[in-house]
Structures are given as C-alpha cells and as structure tokens.
Structure 1
Amino acid sequence: MYRSSEEGLRRFTLQFLPELIWVYLRHSASRERYRNGCVEALLLGIYNLVRDR
C-alpha cells in the first residue's frame, strides 16, 4: 500500500512505523534475535522506499 500513488494509503501504512520499530528494538534486546528477520526486512524496505522519494 505504501507504493500506491494515493497519499492516504501511504500515510495509513506509515502510522504503523513506530510500532514496527518498537517490535524490532524489543526483539533485538531479547534472546530471540533470530525472530527479527521479517521485521528487519520490512523496516529496511520502508526505509529504501522513503529515501528514494
């Protein structure tokens, strides 16, 4: 939805960014670091999309 040309859809997806960062940091600080791959890939993808705009 972030890749959509509609501004409202992009804003909708960005509202979940703080929660995703919190989940990433929480898992990074715990012993379950191996479960962090999906969230890490998602955050990296969002970063690359925002940076390219």
Structure 2
Amino acid sequence: MTSCEETDCENEAAVELHVPWADNVLVCTAHARVLAQKDGVVAEPLDDAVDDWS
C-alpha cells in the first residue's frame, strides 16, 4: 500500500485527490476529508480503501 503524500504523515493512502491546479495526490482519509472541501477538488477512494472513506 502507498503512504499518504502529505508531509510528515505516515498513514496509508486511501483516496486519490484530483486537483485541477496541481498534480493528483494520494492521501489518507484524514487529509482527504479536509483537502476535498476546496472548490474543484474531487476525491476518489482507492479500490482497496472504499470502506475507510464511506
């Protein structure tokens, strides 16, 4: 499994964030819940982490 791409986070990535003004990022559920609230960002749960996101 991939680690969260946020600085100093050691959690496993569970969500891919599609960010229109930057590259897509893989993040943990905690970071995804915050970052996905920005306008234009779309959160897509990774296949093996759907249960963690719902």
TM-score computed with the length of structure 2 as normaliser = 0.29
Instruction: Tell which structure's C-alpha radius of gyration is larger.
Output: 1
TM-score computed with the length of structure 1 as normaliser = 0.29
Greater helix content: 1
Greater strand content: 2
Q: Which of 1 and 2 has higher RCO (CA within 8 Å, sep 6+)? A: 2
